[in-house]
Structure 1
């Protein structure tokens, strides 16, 4: 299942992403983690030092390789150069699976050892000096969206994406790629503003969304979040000595995280699993095609010199069966 963490800058979404990843690993679940934020901090939150974090390969730098691999033998895609971030898979496309080895992971993913196991971590890559003033960050996350479009996952597998802050994710169709979006909100007016934006934008697309209240200190904070987010408030998280030690670079073993926070993380997992159980694969594929056609008409056809609508395979529906085929191949 695919899970996104979003929120305003400073809300704690990266910290909660990292805690959730550690929790899943402690529960022996396979995890592919993706840092899709313009400020690349997920690696550090998972225990990498500055040198190790800086050494993470940027997915955007490997976009030609990603496109060529995912294209496979799909006859509707003449060349990798005609693929854009929204290109959907079809017959002949190569698909990604969480527990396999493939050239995309070899180039873009690195193993990260945690207390209870190992995960794969991928990162979009930060803005570079050459990007400033001439590049949009959405060009960086395009590689993530393309991979998510071609990734098949099962009910006991997890993709956890730490998204860019605010509502920038709505500049593409990537916000529809998740079984559950956790909006991390502080008990302030600014803290719930991103929630309102997500709620409004996602309403027409059936996006499953829950609020995680963070930095909740007392009953007044809790009441504020309940009044502002209603039934979307799933769980709250308070201050944590474990997190404070982690932020200093000296985390205890994860099994020493406070019991109430471990329970909160399990609540997140339960909500994600319940949402995945109701995934509509036909709608999931249809939304992928919808945003591809929208991007093709807006800019893709002109940029590639190709009618990108012809890349759509009308008979293809992504499904769990494709995951099983990938596992057997």
Structure 2
């Protein structure tokens, strides 16, 4: 199952991504966290980097070469763009599988396997946008065959900027983190309207709630989309200030209400079965949008031909 965390900058989106990833790992479930934010802070939020790995964004060409496999519709890495959907012959991956991509690019932070897109650095200024780095994540999810009880948690870019690519359609459920303020719920309205157009599942998670008035405000602003909320957390603040206890099970010290909220997120994810046809349909649709908008003109090729009409998405594709 693929889960995205989105929200306004400062809403606690990265913190919630880390808490939920640690909750899943604590439950014994296989989980992979991916830092897809322009500000790469997920490793720190998870509890600190234990094992580093090369960023995905710096190795996009080799990732394309791996994923295209023997697909005759993608003759070279240069012919592959971030939206190229898998087809017969493509290299399909299992979560944390024994393959070159996972072996090379999965590190570890706070006991959780972690992949990072890489920072937007000075060499990128004026010549690239951050979404070029996110292309590796989009391709990875497009070629991933994950199943029930397997989790990929992505900390997305802040704000409605997450809609600047088709990546937002690659998830089974999107959690929008909102503070109980007008600014906190403004991104919700933007995301809600875009998501409804494509049938994207969005659930709001209130954060930093301090009183009944805060909770009432969220309920009035987002209605039935409010799944649960987390109270303002001294435990989180202590962790962010480096004052967390050296505990072999640190999440056990998180406030009981906030631990329960993470369990509700877990239940919500598990209650949304994978719709492989929808995922693949969106992948093809956004690929064709990019083809028409810029890709054919830039490459001089007919990239619409990369869509394999006989490809069957889902676990059956492995055979």
TM-score of the two chains, using structure 1 as the length reference: 0.92
CA apart distance, 1:305: 1.9
What root-mean-square deviation, in Å, do the aligned CA atoms of Structure 1 and Structure 2 show?
1.4
Show structure 1 runs of 5+ residues with no match.
none
Q: Which runs of 4+ in 1 moved over 2 A?
A: 111-114, 249-252, 320-323
Deviations 1:29-62 (A, max 9, x none): 111110000000000011225xx69x54221111
Residue 215 of structure 1 aligns to a residue in which SS? strand
CA apart distance, 1:113: 4.6
2:164 to 161, 171, 182: 171
Q: Is the 8 Å Cα contact of residues 96 and 102 (structure 2) preserved in structure 1?
A: no
Paired positions, count: 315
Q: Is the 8 Å Cα contact of residues 43 and 110 (structure 2) preserved in structure 1?
A: no
The alignment status of 1:68 with 2:65, answered yes or no, reads yes
The alignment status of 1:304 with 2:314, answered yes or no, reads no
Counterpart of 1:79 in structure 2 is 76
d(CA) in 2 for partners of 1:16 and 1:177?
Answer: 19
CA apart distance, 1:225: 0.5
Q: Is the 8 Å Cα contact of residues 53 and 104 (structure 2) preserved in structure 1?
A: no
Counterpart of 1:289 in structure 2 is 284
Residue 129 of structure 2 aligns to a residue in which SS? coil
d(CA) in 1 for partners of 2:126 and 2:132?
Answer: 13
1:110 to 107, 111, 117: 107
Q: Is the 8 Å Cα contact of residues 281 and 317 (structure 1) preserved in structure 2?
A: no
TM-score of the two chains, using structure 2 as the length reference: 0.95
Deviations 1:65-93 (A, max 9, x none): 11011000111111111000000000010
Q: Is the 8 Å Cα contact of residues 208 and 233 (structure 2) preserved in structure 1?
A: no
Counterpart of 1:227 in structure 2 is 220
Residue 125 of structure 2 aligns to a residue in which SS? coil
CA apart distance, 1:159: 0.3
Residue 146 of structure 1 aligns to a residue in which SS? helix
Counterpart of 2:41 in structure 1 is 41
d(CA) in 2 for partners of 1:251 and 1:321?
Answer: 45
Show structure 2 runs of 5+ residues with no match.
none
d(CA) in 1 for partners of 2:244 and 2:299?
Answer: 48
1:152 to 145, 150, 173: 145
Residue 97 of structure 1 aligns to a residue in which SS? coil
d(CA) in 2 for partners of 1:220 and 1:113?
Answer: 34
Q: How does 1:147-296 map to 2 (within 5 A)?
A: 147-252=140-245, 253-275=250-272, 277=273, 279-296=274-291
